[in-house]
Amino acid sequence: MLTKSRYSVLDVAVWTRQEIIWFLLYGVLITGLYSLLGLRFLQLPWTPLAVIGTAVAFIVGFRNNAAYERIWEARKIWGGIVNASRALAMRVQDCVVSEGNAQDEPQVLRERRTLIYRHIGWLTALRHAMRSPRAWEVADRVRTNREWSQCVPERHHEIEEELSRLLPDAELEGVLGRTNRPAAILFEQSRHLRELKERGWLWEFAFLELQSVLQELFELQGKSERIKNFPYPRQYATLSLYFVWVFVLLVPFAAIPQFEAVSQTLEQTWPGVGRHFVWAAVPFTAIMSWVFHVMERIGRVGENPFEGTPNDVPISTIARGIEVDLRQLLGETEMPEPLPEMRGVQM
């Protein structure tokens, strides 16, 4: 997620530099065919193209609104995970007690640490699951998207390596063998709480309260998985892309004759300028095509809010913040390093 106050035009231009070059070259090609080779049949009326542009703008706007709703819903879900995580840690710290038995206190402290570290393991497994690729996620096919997402930690660290530092050895292999690893960790958390209740280190009421927090975490995980595993309807996404490119390809054929008409008018008073004014269609068509393309691309990269693009939910940074909070609650002083940003973007 972008942490700067706003995008600059330079940021967007760098992000779409490949398309800008393509639009300029395409404008030069069509203008050269029309002006230098005299292929005057390469023209279209402006009014029909304006109608097409209006329709495309509506379709792209609808897609961008839907993509923003998915991003905002995902952010609310992970905000709920932050709150539920703190509530879980607070209850573990205050409710897992030895009932005044000093001999059991060291073991109780270890049980608290195991529970909290297991929850950090759940966060780790969940963010890895959310970062795993799906067939409909196409952001990484574009090189400039890959440049912005190269700091995504899940692409540089294996889940086995990270969980080995958080889960007991006795349950690590079992968790890694499950298809849904976050759910497997929550099952282990529930089993552990039941054992603590049976030992007398967890009150009955506190056990029910902690179980309700686990239920909330299950619900939040399911909501996050729903967004991850159910894509934005492909008919809308695909047709939006096709319509934008049809419009972009037709823009020079309607714009160049308009600039030629202005060129003929200018030639009467400023011959030097008027003779070459038709070439002003090149930057104009490039800018016009770029605006529609950027609107479509923003929706395309925003429809899957866990891929790791600049506008996505920074689940890695959120999980790291929760981990720091929970470790400080345990009294630890050595904290993991903050995750690096890429051009003001959190991952």
* Cα gap 177→162, rounded to integer Å: 15
Q: What are phi and psi of 202, to 5 degrees?
A: -140, 125
**Is 46 exposed, middle or buried (CB count within 10 Å of its CB: 0-12, 13-18, 19+)?**
middle
13-36: average pLDDT: 90
Q: What are phi and psi of 96, to 5 degrees?
A: -85, 100
pLDDT at 274 over 70: no
* 202 DSSP β-pair partners: 96
Q: Are 255 and 285 in contact (CB under 8 A)?
A: yes
From 249, 325, 333, select the one nearest 42 (Cα to Cα): 249
pLDDT at 141: 77
pLDDT at 276: 77
Residues 6+ apart with CB under 8 A from 52: 243, 246, 247, 250
Report the range out of 113-122, 226-235, 313-322 with the highest average pLDDT. 113-122
Q: What percent of the chain has pLDDT over 90?
A: 50
* Cα gap 9→159, rounded to integer Å: 37
From 120, 105, 87, 113, select the one nearest 206 (Cα to Cα): 87
Domains of the chain: which residue ranges?
Answer: 9-329
pLDDT confidence bin for 331, thresholds 50/70/90: confident
* Cα gap 126→118, rounded to integer Å: 12
Q: Which of 42-51, 72-81, 292-301, 332-341 has the lowest mean pLDDT?
A: 332-341
Helix (H, G, I), strand (E, B) or coil at 96: strand
Reading the block at residue 210, the tokens are 């902690």
pLDDT confidence bin for 218, thresholds 50/70/90: very high
Q: Which of 49-53, 167-171, 267-271, 309-313 has the lowest mean pLDDT?
A: 267-271
pLDDT confidence bin for 78, thresholds 50/70/90: very high
pLDDT tens-digit profile of 164-194? 999 988 899 999 999 999 999 999 999 999 9
Q: Which of 90-104, 155-169, 225-239 has the lowest mean pLDDT?
A: 90-104
| Distance from the Cα of residue 41 to its chain's centroid | 45
Give me the half-sphere count of Cα atoms (radius 13 Å) on the Cβ side of residue 196.
31
pLDDT at 175: 93
Compute the mean pLDDT over every residue in the chain, rounded to the nearest whole number: 87
pLDDT at 155 over 90: no
C-alpha torsion 279→281→284→287, nearest 10: -90
* Cα gap 280→14, rounded to integer Å: 23
